[in-house]
Amino acid sequence: MATLNTSVSLKSATKVAGELTLDFAQLTDLAFTTAEGATVVVPHTGTHTTIVDGTHSDETFVYLKNTSGADKIKMYDATSEYGSVMPGAWTFITVPTGKILKCLNSGSGNVNVNYVRFLK
């Protein structure tokens, strides 16, 4: 078993949404037994690229990096879209036990996506 040290920091010198300023940091240590990753091609049509197949017996933590400079990557569960990763951006999400994560490119070509899955 290993530990992943995660850190997210959100800061803005100006007000956000007209009212709030941000100065937030969150540190979390996540225990995991296996880490596996790759760079995969995400198409813009046809079959979605599967990142988490739903056979895991516990929560899976996933880091996704969209390498496209122009197209967003849409994230899906078994039936519907639930999020996206903007061009050049990344996300770190939790996929619940037994759920899947598939990706499709919103643009007109294929995009490489870097990912790492951390399995508890």
CATH level 2 (architecture), domain 34-119: Sandwich (2.60)
pTM metric for this prediction = 0.83
Q: Would you say residue 20 has pLDDT above 90?
A: no
Domain locations in the chain as residue ranges: 34-119
Kindly give, in sequence order, each residue whose CB lies less than 8 Å from that of residue 90, ignoring residues fewer than 6 positions away: 63, 64, 65, 66
Question: What average pLDDT does this structure show over 12-28?
Answer: 74
What per-residue confidence (pLDDT) applies to 116?
94
What is the chain's mean pLDDT, rounded?
87
46-85 pLDDT tens trace: 788 999 998 988 889 999 999 988 899 999 998 888 999 9
Q: How confident is the model at residue 33 (pLDDT cuts 50, 70, 90)?
A: confident
Q: What is the DSSP string of 73-87?
A: EEEE-SSSEEEEE-T
> How far is the C-alpha of 62 from the C-alpha of 99, rounded, in Å?
12
